[in-house]
């Protein structure tokens, strides 16, 4: 039987740091499966530079909450034992687990070293703005709490090509490390001249020992946790050919089909396609352009032409490599890439990723369960659950688009024989007035009664002899009509 699949990003930036997140996932797994979630993207499982960090300030990639390092044994989310139990619970409920992998940088080094650098312009990393000078920086990682278990590899300044803090003077900047064959990696995003450097100690993937160690670590992680895939963080800052080699190595090593999605945070289709070419199309990418289209539509309201909602998006041009999302931990309020979609448009955006033919959609934990922190936001679980139900049970078959009005668009999924009573008609409206649209759902459906499964409209739509229905929608809303259950 055919089935639509859906990912949940199972965290937000302010996820409770009480160390019980893995336990919550373990308990939640049966509920997630029942709701229609088939995979979870979990936060970084590796030890960060402090226990409150969400995991992106990576200290030790071999410490999954097992060793007393950086003041705690556990990570923000729990211990290694609890992590393994959560993954097992997901697998017991037929949910795949994708781990967030941070390979761009390291933080929280154990010792300082003195070496030569030049300072570069923060807005143009190709422009040197100082003579060579000695810096004392935290670049030596010895992991004393782990005592060489799993790996004897120790990191030092030779394994990095940039850092941002001079311990000797207390000054911050972007300091390029000097040495033989030492430079920024070339096959990275060209924003700021060269966007290899992002933060902390920047890993140098030109170094053969680094490439070997990180690939061996990836294999170890697959074996240690029995995971099903990886979400690769900040890949526009990482040598694209290393990403290609890493993905191929993991696929060769894994004994089961293994999934990859990369975060290339740039809403430019050509740049995304160039990266996919470099990486042999061996992974999917998040559709950042679609996210920004949602944001713009939510902010402009009637000033936005809904017919352009999918223009220049990955899901439109490269649907087999597109992972669609509405918001995530980076785009939520107060974060570095804040670009949060406004509340009124969230149902329209989620309908756009969950009920269409193309794309692998992701539900954001913060949209589902709510966002914490100083600016808390309530979750929209009921709205998303309804759309998940429709995706799981109704949104199948060929798709006909009705993108024929700037404020009112729609599409029909014709249904599939393998899924009983499947098929749906979606209509969304960004105007301030009620609207309607005639859409064809199939001559074989004449006489059927269709209802709004979103429970917003109370209309009963009777399909006419030609297979058409006249579907209505409220202002600033989306309605999803399906055949009335007999």
- Give the whole-angstrom CA distance, residue 299 versus residue 338: 14
Q: Cβ–Cβ contacts within 10 Å for residue 92, how many?
A: 12
Helix (H, G, I), strand (E, B) or coil at 92: helix
Q: What tokens were used for 440?
A: 């064809």
- Taking each helix axis as running N to C, give the angle between helix 269-278 and helix 288-300, from 0 to 180 degrees, rounded to the nearest 10: 160
Q: Cβ–Cβ contacts within 10 Å for residue 181, how many?
A: 9
CB 10 within 8 A of CB 89: no
What are the distances in angstroms from CA 164 to CA 8, 119, 120, 245, 339?
34, 9, 11, 28, 26
CB 73 within 8 A of CB 202: no
CB 346 within 8 A of CB 379: no
CB 481 within 8 A of CB 423: no
CB 330 within 8 A of CB 265: yes
Q: Could you give phi then psi for residue 171, rounded to 5 degrees?
A: -90, 150
Q: Which of 66, 166, 233, 327 is catalytic?
A: 233
CB 392 within 8 A of CB 1: no
Q: Which of 136, 216, 263, 464 is catalytic?
A: 263
Residue labelled with tokens 């950086």:
70
DSSP assignments along 168-187, one per residue: TTTEEEEEEEPSTT-S--SS
First to last CA, the chain: 22
Q: What tokens were used for 298?
A: 């939510």
Torsion of CA 102, 104, 108, 113, to 10 degrees: 150
Concerning whether 458 is annotated as a catalytic residue, the answer is no
Strand 171-177 versus strand 160-166 pairing type: antiparallel
Concerning whether 233 is annotated as a catalytic residue, the answer is yes
Pinpoint the alpha helices (H) of 370-460: 381-393
Q: What tokens were used for 29?
A: 């797994």
> Could you give the residue numbers annotated as active site?
233, 263
């Amino acid at each position: 039987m055919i089935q639509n699949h859906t990912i949940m990003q199972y965290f937000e930036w302010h996820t409770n740091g009480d160390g019980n997140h893995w336990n919550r996932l373990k308990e939640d797994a049966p509920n997630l499966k029942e709701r229609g979630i088939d995979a979870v993207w979990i936060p970084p499982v590796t030890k960060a530079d402090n226990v409150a960090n969400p995991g992106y300030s990576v200290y030790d990639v071999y410490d999954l909450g097992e060793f007393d390092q950086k003041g705690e044994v556990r990570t923000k989310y729990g211990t290694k034992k609890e992590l393994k139990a959560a993954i097992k619970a997901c697998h017991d409920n037929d949910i795949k687990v994708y781990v967030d992998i941070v390979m761009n940088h390291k933080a929280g080094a154990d010792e300082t070293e003195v070496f030569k650098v030049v300072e570069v312009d923060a807005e143009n990393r190709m422009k040197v703005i100082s003579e060579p000078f000695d810096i004392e920086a935290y670049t030596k990682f010895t992991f004393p709490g782990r005592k060489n278990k799993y790996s004897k590899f120790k990191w030092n300044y030779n394994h990095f090509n940039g850092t941002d803090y001079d311990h000797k003077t207390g000054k911050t900047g972007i300091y390029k490390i000097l040495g033989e064959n030492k430079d920024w990696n070339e096959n990275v995003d060209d924003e700021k001249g060269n966007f290899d450097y992002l933060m902390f100690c920047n890993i140098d993937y030109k170094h053969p020992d680094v490439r070997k160690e990180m690939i061996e670590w990836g294999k170890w992680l697959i074996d240690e946790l029995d995971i099903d895939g990886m979400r690769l963080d900040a890949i526009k800052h990482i040598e694209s050919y290393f990403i290609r080699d890493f993905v191929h190595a993991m696929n060769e090593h894994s004994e089961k089909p293994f999934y990859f999605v990369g975060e290339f945070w740039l809403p430019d289709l050509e740049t995304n396609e160039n990266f996919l070419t470099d990486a042999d199309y061996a992974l999917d990418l998040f559709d950042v352009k679609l996210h920004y289209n949602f944001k713009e539509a939510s902010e402009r309201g009637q000033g936005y032409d809904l017919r352009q909602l999918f223009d220049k998006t990955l899901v439109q041009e490269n649907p087999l490599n597109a992972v669609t999302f509405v918001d995530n931990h980076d785009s939520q309020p107060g974060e570095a890439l804040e670009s949060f979609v406004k509340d009124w448009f969230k149902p329209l955006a989620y309908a756009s990723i969950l009920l269409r033919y193309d794309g692998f959609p992701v539900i954001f934990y913060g949209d589902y369960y709510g966002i914490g922190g100083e600016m808390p936001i309530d979750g929209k679980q009921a709205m998303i659950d309804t759309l998940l139900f429709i995706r799981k049970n109704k949104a199948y078959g060929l798709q006909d688009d009705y993108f024929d009005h700037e404020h009112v668009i729609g599409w029909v999924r014709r249904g599939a024989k393998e899924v009983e009573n499947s098929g749906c008609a979606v209509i969304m409206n960004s105007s301030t007035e009620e609207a309607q649209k005639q859409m064809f759902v199939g001559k074989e459906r004449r006489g059927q009664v269709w209802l709004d499964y979103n429970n917003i409209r109370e209309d009963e739509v009777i399909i006419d002899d030609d297979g058409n229905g006249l579907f209505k929608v409220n202002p600033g809303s989306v309605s999803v009509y399906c055949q009335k259950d007999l």
